Amino acid sequence: MNEQSTYLEQGLGYGVSREQRNKVLRNTYWLLALSMVPTVVGAWAGVAFGLGQLFSGALGIVLFLAMAFGFIYAIQKTKNSAAGVPVLLAFTFFMGLMMSRLIESVLGFKNGPDLIMTAFGGTAGVFFVMASLATVIKRDLSGMNQWLFVGVIVLLVGGVINMFVGSTVGMMVLSMAAIGIFSAYMLYDIKQIIDGGETNYISATLALYLNIINVFQSLLALLGIFGGERD
């Protein structure tokens, strides 16, 4: 058995036709683009009405986690029904609210709007590169999942510790690590769709959306640390 046939069995052995895989990928990209609209609206509302403060402090973090996991559970329960898309879009609005605190902080810099656009452009660039790589890489990447999951756990533990330490260096290290881990997760998740391992475009969109949000926030935090200009 040659290498190509081994890859076909490992990477494309999900019983999903090429047409189905292309449809899932196309629908995922469309829904991902649509999900940015409520995200921007949520971020605007959070900044305009100070709603981002709801997620500050220990109680705010507990509130965010409870609501985030509640939304994710609801999305997974409704992903095969007509309610799946509205629930996902409601979650992206909520994530925009959550990000508004960071965005408001960055807007406090003289060059805040430029930093936000740079972070947006950088995130779009990372996504384009990972999506392009996913289409040309022929090997099965399913083994990445366990290592990336461990990386996320380390990030979470490090983030909790840094909450109490309040170290700028710690924030820089965590942000750079997050960019690397969630960029790799983009590659993994897109490759799963291409290979037929993910056949539901709603859950695929959720995974990619979370990757994008984490990369964007981490880039924005780094830009604020290194490039923020005070009046």
Which region among 7-16, 29-38, 93-102, 203-212 has the lowest average model confidence (pLDDT)? Answer: 7-16
Nearest in space to 170 (alpha carbons), one of 179, 180, 161: 161
Map out the domains of the chain as residue ranges. 3-227
For 110, other C-beta atoms within 10 Å of its C-beta total: 12
Q: What single letter denotes the amino acid at residue 203?
A: S
Report the distance separating Cα 125 and Cα 179, nearest Å.
12
pLDDT value of residue 4: 43
The average confidence (pLDDT) of the chain is 90
Confidence band, pLDDT 50/70/90 cuts, at residue 14: low
- pLDDT tens per residue across span 106-153: 999 999 999 999 999 999 999 999 999 999 998 888 889 999 999 999
Could you tell me if 203 and 79 are in contact, meaning their C-beta atoms sit under 8 angstroms apart?
yes
pLDDT of 39 above 80:
yes
pLDDT value of residue 6: 43
pLDDT of 7 above 50:
no
- pLDDT tens per residue across span 184-211: 999 999 999 999 999 999 999 999 999 9
pLDDT of 3 above 60:
no
For residues 24, 94, 179 and 211, what is the CA-based torsion angle, rounded to 10 degrees? -10
- pLDDT tens per residue across span 44-88: 999 999 888 888 877 888 899 999 999 999 999 999 999 999 999
Could you tell me if 137 and 191 are in contact, meaning their C-beta atoms sit under 8 angstroms apart?
yes
Q: Is the pTM of this model over 0.85?
A: yes
pLDDT of 8 above 90:
no
